[in-house]
Structure 1
Amino acid sequence: MRLEAFQPQVGVHCETTTLRNMLHHAGARLSEPLLFGLGQGIDFQYWDAPVPGRGAPMLTGRVGPGEIARRACAALGAELCRERPPDPDAARTRTAELLAAGHVVGVTVDIYHLDYFSSRSHFAAHCIALYGLDDDLAHVVDTAQQGGAQTLPGESLRRARDSREGFLPSPNLQMHIGGLPKRLTTDSAAVPREQIWHAVRATAERMLTDRGPRRGPSGLRRAAAEVSGWHDTLTPSEELVPATGRFWRYAGTGGANFRALYRDFLREARHRTGEAALDRAADAFEGVRQQWDEAIDLLLGYGEAADPGGRLKAVEALLHATADAEQSAFEHLHRLAGERTGESP
């Protein structure tokens, strides 16, 4: 069974792509950058490697799994229903019921078990939009990098959903849109201006709040301070150092560890609110994106570098400068959004 009139919406990040497909089929035509921004998705988080020295730390540029969908739906007034059936059979039964009721179902999966994924590592914090189930096949939408609409064996999906391995597993978790405000189904420009400003301010406030040495600009500065030592602490460094660059550019981030996606949100926010003052913020994040991309290029070329230690020193300096630039950009956004919402200090 496949949903009638379903139109795949392909994106760059797994959670926002999944959310966009669920909302679009329910009748809300919204862009991926807007959902990322309303979901307050940008962050920096430092996670230790599971085994020190055997793998690079997980350095991600977004908030935790599920938070973007939850916050974006709250901002939109959409009902987000989340559930975790107790086992694979119950999960399939419940998913089939939701499909029969006309819902696109977002499911969390371990990419290791997805036939169309080239990566052979376990990563369980991925999500995809499910729009059809036949006896032996599942029909899903993944990111553009993974080919968009895909068909895979039902058993592969079953294993991917039930996996307990990899980063942040959430076996058999699924979500769907229970309902939408009528205004969202009749006018794509109906996102309240105040919700955009609230999301901007809440994001900036979180990024400027001291949450310890592993989050936000502090986490980025910690990572920067460690980069120059990766030549000695990561083994084999010629594989693990470029892998970090690939993760920041290609692992469903939209480029530059989610900074390009947030820049695009600010550009759309400027268009939707008519606030020319947002041009400065969008330009600042374009500069931030360029700094991230420069650092990524250096990491990707590490294995062939004549002076790998010097290359890592350059990355360290770039990341420190990037942390400063991000902090400055969020300070500006916090002031601006505070003025627009009447929440200025």
Structure 2
Amino acid sequence: MRLATFQPQPGVHCETTTLRNMLHHAGVGISEPMLFGLGQGIDFQYWDAPDPGRGTPMLTGRIGPALVSRNACSALGVELRESRAPDSVSARDAAAKLLDAGHVVGMSVDIFYLDYFSSRSHFASHYIALYGLDDSLAYVVDTDQQGGAQTLPEDSLRRARGSDEGFMPSPNLQMYVERPPARLTTDTDAVLREQIWKAIRLTAERMTADRGPRCGIGALRRAASEIAQWGDTLACADEVVPGVGRFWRFAGTGGANFRKLYRAFLLEARQRYGDHELDPFVDGFGDVQHQWNQAIDMLTAYRGADDGRRQLEAVAARLNAIADAEQSLFEGLLVPATKQAGEQT
């Protein structure tokens, strides 16, 4: 069984790609950057390494899994349904029923078990959109980097969906969207204009708040202070440090990718509003994205550096500069966002 009218929608980040495909099939065409911005997706989070001394902490550039989807759907007035099946058989039955009812099914999976993934690491907070099942195959949409629409053995999907290994697993988690409000499908642009500044305000309030050493700017500064010591504290640093750079660049969790998405969101918002107040922030996030890419370049070049400690100190300095820039940008955004969102209520 495959959804006959389904048209795969491209994307660069797994959860927003999945959400975009669910909404598009339900009749709501919204860009991925817009969904990321309405979902208040940008952040920096620090999660302790499961084996300190041998591995690095998980450092992500976004809010937690599923929160982008929940926030975006709330802003759009769309009901997002989530469920956790007790076992793989129940999860398969639930997915088949949702497909029969015409829904695209979003699910959290472990990339280790996806046949088309080149990575051999466990990461269980990846999202894909399921649009078909038959006796032995599953039809899914992943990010552009992973080839977009893919076919894989259903047994592989079963293992990926049910995995409890890796970072923040959610075994057998599935979600779908109910029929959207009529106004969202007939006047999407008006709904977006009403919600953009609210989402910017909520994001800026969160990013300028002191949330300790695990989230936000404080977490970024903590990461900067620890990265400078990685050469001394990590076993196999020559392998681990460049691996962090590659992970940030290619796995979607790094700062550069999410800053690029947030910049694209602000640019689209500026175009919809015709509001030049957003221009300096579009430019500012372009500069922040560039600085993130510089930090990643230095991490990936660590193994061949003449002085590894100095290389990591340069990365730390770059991350502290990024923290200063992001703090300033969100403090600046909070001023017009508070004014504009207040006028709309």
Deviations 1:237-275 (A, max 9, x none): 111111111122111248714111111111011111221
Question: Is 2:186 the partner of 1:186?
Answer: yes
The whole-number CA distance in structure 2 between the counterparts of 1:287 and 1:306 is 28
- Amino acid of the structure 2 residue aligned with 1:43: D
Tell me which residue corresponds to 1:284: 284
Tell me which residue corresponds to 1:143: 143
The whole-number CA distance in structure 2 between the counterparts of 1:209 and 1:126 is 28
After TM superposition, give the deviation of residue 104 of structure 1 in Å: 0.3
Task: Give secondary structure in 2 for the equivalent of 1:170.
Answer: coil
The whole-number CA distance in structure 2 between the counterparts of 1:254 and 1:211 is 20
The whole-number CA distance in structure 1 between the counterparts of 2:188 and 2:271 is 13
After TM superposition, give the deviation of residue 321 of structure 1 in Å: 0.6
The whole-number CA distance in structure 2 between the counterparts of 1:95 and 1:148 is 20
Tell me which residue corresponds to 1:100: 100
Tell me which residue corresponds to 1:26: 26
The whole-number CA distance in structure 1 between the counterparts of 2:247 and 2:335 is 32
Tell me which residue corresponds to 1:11: 11
Tell me which residue corresponds to 1:299: 299
After TM superposition, give the deviation of residue 194 of structure 1 in Å: 2.9
The whole-number CA distance in structure 2 between the counterparts of 1:78 and 1:149 is 25
After TM superposition, give the deviation of residue 186 of structure 1 in Å: 2.7
Tell me which residue corresponds to 1:80: 80
Tell me which residue corresponds to 2:338: 338
Task: Give secondary structure in 2 for the equivalent of 1:108.
Answer: strand
After TM superposition, give the deviation of residue 85 of structure 1 in Å: 1.5
- Amino acid of the structure 1 residue aligned with 2:173: L
Aligned residue runs from structure 1 range 152-167, under 5 A: 152-167=152-167
After TM superposition, give the deviation of residue 4 of structure 1 in Å: 0.7
Question: Is this contact kept in 2: 1:81–1:175, CA < 8 A?
Answer: yes
Question: Is this contact kept in 2: 1:115–1:156, CA < 8 A?
Answer: yes
The whole-number CA distance in structure 2 between the counterparts of 1:253 and 1:19 is 17
- Amino acid of the structure 2 residue aligned with 1:280: P
247-256 or 59-68, larger mean C-alpha shift = 247-256
The whole-number CA distance in structure 2 between the counterparts of 1:192 and 1:10 is 20
- Amino acid of the structure 1 residue aligned with 2:209: T
Question: Is 2:65 the partner of 1:70?
Answer: no
Task: Give secondary structure in 1 for the equivalent of 2:290.
Answer: helix
The whole-number CA distance in structure 2 between the counterparts of 1:322 and 1:255 is 10
- Amino acid of the structure 1 residue aligned with 2:121: S
Question: Is this contact kept in 2: 1:12–1:254, CA < 8 A?
Answer: no
The whole-number CA distance in structure 2 between the counterparts of 1:66 and 1:191 is 22
The verdict on how the C-alpha distance between 1:321 and 1:126 changes in structure 2, with shifts beyond 3 A counting, is same
After TM superposition, give the deviation of residue 9 of structure 1 in Å: 0.7
The whole-number CA distance in structure 2 between the counterparts of 1:96 and 1:255 is 36
- Amino acid of the structure 1 residue aligned with 2:65: P
Question: Is this contact kept in 2: 1:13–1:254, CA < 8 A?
Answer: no
Deviations 1:147-193 (A, max 9, x none): 11100000110111111111111111100011201122234423342
Question: Is this contact kept in 2: 1:143–1:252, CA < 8 A?
Answer: no
Task: Give secondary structure in 1 for the equivalent of 2:189.
Answer: coil
After TM superposition, give the deviation of residue 79 of structure 1 in Å: 1.0
Task: Give secondary structure in 2 for the equivalent of 1:51.
Answer: coil
Aligned residues: 343
Aligned residue runs from structure 1 range 198-213, under 5 A: 198-213=198-213
Tell me which residue corresponds to 1:270: 270
The verdict on how the C-alpha distance between 1:11 and 1:192 changes in structure 2, with shifts beyond 3 A counting, is closer
The whole-number CA distance in structure 1 between the counterparts of 2:254 and 2:25 is 23
TM-score (norm 1): 0.97
Question: Is this contact kept in 2: 1:12–1:253, CA < 8 A?
Answer: no
The verdict on how the C-alpha distance between 1:191 and 1:254 changes in structure 2, with shifts beyond 3 A counting, is farther
Aligned residue runs from structure 1 range 227-242, under 5 A: 227-242=227-242
The whole-number CA distance in structure 2 between the counterparts of 1:90 and 1:319 is 45
Task: Give secondary structure in 2 for the equivalent of 1:342.
Answer: helix
- Amino acid of the structure 2 residue aligned with 1:285: F
The whole-number CA distance in structure 2 between the counterparts of 1:70 and 1:251 is 22
Task: Give secondary structure in 1 for the equivalent of 2:291.
Answer: helix
Tell me which residue corresponds to 1:329: 329
TM-score (norm 2): 0.97
Question: Is this contact kept in 2: 1:208–1:331, CA < 8 A?
Answer: yes
Give unmatched runs, 5+ long, in structure 1: none
Question: Is this contact kept in 2: 1:21–1:104, CA < 8 A?
Answer: yes
